[in-house]
Structure 1
Amino acid sequence: MRFLYLVFAVFLLVSLAAPGYGKFRKTCAPVGYCSSKCRVMDMKSTSGDCKYSCCIPMPWKVK
């Protein structure tokens, strides 16, 4: 029984320590563009389909 507790505890620690665990990777294509360096006015984000980062243009507020 102690062995099962030990295996479960190790599994829990490994699964929680894995990077990106439980995060949903979104796509960049409809809202932004993939680039290694974003422009100053763009917001930098991560995406599953981009190698470096997803650059999302900030919307202009026109009055």
Structure 2
Amino acid sequence: MNPKIFNFRMPVQTWHELNILSKSLLRTKSSLIRWLIHKEFKRLGLTSLEKSIELEEAAGNAFSLDCQ
């Protein structure tokens, strides 16, 4: 199974709140971020990141970056 890598920026205040939350819940920051992303996908009515990519590709909305 290939690891999923999410690379995004986060405000400093949010990062500090995430640190506090991870310590109080005894969870890693990465697992909390994955949980938040999962909740947002459910809120938007998507089942998973992979499913949304498949739907975009089927609709012809996918884009590609050509590395040359």
TM-score, length-normalised on structure 1?
0.26
Larger Rg: 1
Relative contact order higher in (CA < 8 Å, ≥ 6 apart) = 1
TM-score, length-normalised on structure 2?
0.25
Tell me which protein shows more helix as a share of its residues: 2
